[in-house]
């Protein structure tokens, strides 16, 4: 199946169907794909559990590269539906051990890694010995094996971040910016409170997915409230991924031979990553004032993922997650160090921080039983048997 208008720039002009070329779009969007012919979607429900988990993760990854605008109608929904079935066919073929086994590294990883290597090469000539590859578990996660000079990142990390960023930017669009496209502070807070249950419910499954057998294939496909909201979500995702990978590069380039998990080393790796994002030689370097709140937001999501994990594993809740949260707050000393005006940074991140605080209150208000209940409901409504 081929999507209409997939010829280069043309695709980006179709505002109701947005195509994400940094994901697996090009890999899947091939009518000639030989893997698809012998499969057919009917095989999926009968896969053994491990293969179905894998197919479900891949299906989620593949279909995520097409995003609909909120104003999309039946015709666009039909496009997405056909796209999704095609993606399920290809995902199933991979899960059954298709000709190439796991899919290749997605473009976002190849591009992000090349940009990082270019930025670091002059100071660290052995940077090209480092290899980066994908894993396929369901969590926001990157890690390194310094002895082997290997970095691994879960492929869903990118799509989770993009989806969570999109839910977030949709909400900002809906609650904070009215017709005038200005932030209305007083009206904003009430609106945020009204919408936070919806946002919280939307995010919970993603943050709970490392701890329960949720079928990603059945997760909703989030629509974009606007092209701007979608663009911001993609941009923040790129900054967050660069930060994550740069942090792991630090462990390999600076910390080989050290014991992992040392707090000072973690801090040094974070500083290294902040510097990469802010460096003149990094092609993604852009407006720090706009981009830096995305790192704070990333750490807040990690903290929530961890809090929810403790709850679902029947431990007592740790809402503070001080260790993780402190890492996000380092941004303020880094802003000083790099000469970003703190006042501007604080003002601009006001909108995002307000939303995140509302979301944290939502999860906290739900309480331990509430969170378990909501995840249980989601499991019941979204998980096929077996």
Interface contacts to Zn ion, rule CB under 5 A: 266, 269
* Smallest separation, CB 269 to Zn ion (Å): 5
Vertex 138: Cα angle to 134 and 143 (nearest 5)? 45
Which C-beta is closer to Zn ion: that of 152 or that of 382? 152
Sign for the CA dihedral angle at 229, 234, 239, 244 comes to positive
CB of 261 to Zn ion, least distance (A): 8
- Give the burial class of 31: count Cβ atoms within 10 A of its Cβ; 0-12 exposed, 13-18 middle, 19 or more buried: exposed
Q: Which is nearer to Zn ion, 202 or 269 (CB)?
A: 269
- The gap from C-alpha 132 to its chain's centroid, in whole angstroms, comes to 17
Q: Which is nearer to Zn ion, 89 or 266 (CB)?
A: 266
Residues 6 or more apart in contact with residue 272 via CB below 8 angstroms: 246, 247, 249, 250, 254
DSSP state letters, 286-325: --HHHHTHHHHHHHHHHHHHHHHHHHHTTPPP-S--HHHH
Nearer to Zn ion, 266 or 291 (CB): 266
Compare residues 220 and 261 and give the one whose CB is closer to Zn ion: 261
Stated as kind and residue range, the H or E segment containing 267 is helix 263-278
Q: In this complex, which beta carbon is closest to Zn ion, that of residue 140 or of residue 208? A: 140
In whole angstroms, the minimum distance from the beta carbon of 311 to Zn ion comes to 24
Minimum Å gap between C-beta 167 and Zn ion is 27
Looking only at the bridges linking them, the beta strands covering 17-19 and 66-68 are antiparallel
The two three-digit tokens of residue 310, written as one number: 């403790």
Cα 281 from Cα 121, distance rounded (Å):
11
Tell the smallest beta-carbon distance from residue 260 to Zn ion (Å): 7
Q: Which is nearer to Zn ion, 143 or 189 (CB)?
A: 143
Least distance from Zn ion to the Cβ atom of residue 331, Å: 16
What's the closest the beta carbon of residue 132 comes to Zn ion, in angstroms? 15
Provide the minimum distance between the beta carbon of 265 and Zn ion in the complex, in angstroms, as a whole number: 7
CB of 91 to Zn ion, least distance (A): 31
For residue 190, CA distances in Å to 111, 150, 185, 200 come to: 41, 47, 9, 16
Would you say 96 or 142 has its CB closer to Zn ion? 142
Measured from the CB atom, the residue of 251 and 374 that comes closer to Zn ion is 251
Alpha-carbon span 55 to 96, nearest angstrom = 8
The sign of the torsion formed by the CA atoms of 213, 166, 267, 279 equals: positive
Which residues does 41 contact at the CB level (< 8 Å), separation at least 6?
A: 85, 88, 89, 92
């Amino acid at each position: 199946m081929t999507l209409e208008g997939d010829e280069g720039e043309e695709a980006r002009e179709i505002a109701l169907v947005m195509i994400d070329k940094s994901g697996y779009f090009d890999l899947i969007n091939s009518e000639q794909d030989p893997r698809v012919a012998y499969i057919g979607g009917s095989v999926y429900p009968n896969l053994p559990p491990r293969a179905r988990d894998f197919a479900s993760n891949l299906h989620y990854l593949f279909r995520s590269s097409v995003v609909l605008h909120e104003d999309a109608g039946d015709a666009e929904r039909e496009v997405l539906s056909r796209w999704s079935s095609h993606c399920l066919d290809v995902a199933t073929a991979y899960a059954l051990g298709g000709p190439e086994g796991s899919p290749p590294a997605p473009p976002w990883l190849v591009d992000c890694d090349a940009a990082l290597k270019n930025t670091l090469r002059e100071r660290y000539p052995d940077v090209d010995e480092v290899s980066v590859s994908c894993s396929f578990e369901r969590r926001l996660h990157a890690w390194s094996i310094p002895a082997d000079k290997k970095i691994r990142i879960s492929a869903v990390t990118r799509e989770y971040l993009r989806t969570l960023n999109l839910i977030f930017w949709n909400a900002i669009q809906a609650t904070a910016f009215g017709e005038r496209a200005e932030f209305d502070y007083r009206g904003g807070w009430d609106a945020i409170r009204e919408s936070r249950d919806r946002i919280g419910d939307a995010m919970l499954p993603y943050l709970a997915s490392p701890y329960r057998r949720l079928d990603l294939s059945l997760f909703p496909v989030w629509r974009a409230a606007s092209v701007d909201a979608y663009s911001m979500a993609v941009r923040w995702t790129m900054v967050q991924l660069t930060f994550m990978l740069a942090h792991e590069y630090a462990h390999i380039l600076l910390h080989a031979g050290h014991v992992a998990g040392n707090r000072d080393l973690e801090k040094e790796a974070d500083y290294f990553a902040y510097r990469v994002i802010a460096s003149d030689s990094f092609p993604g370097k852009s407006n720090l004032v706009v981009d830096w709140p995305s790192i704070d937001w990333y750490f807040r999501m990690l903290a929530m993922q961890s809090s929810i994990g403790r709850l679902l594993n029947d431990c007592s809740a740790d809402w503070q997650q001080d260790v993780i949260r402190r890492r996000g707050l380092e941004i303020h000393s880094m802003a000083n160090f790099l000469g970003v005006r703190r006042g501007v940074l604080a003002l601009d991140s006001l909108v995002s921080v307000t939303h995140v605080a509302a979301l944290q209150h939502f999860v906290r208000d739900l309480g331990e039983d509430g969170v378990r209940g909501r995840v249980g409901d989601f499991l019941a409504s979204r998980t096929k048997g077996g």
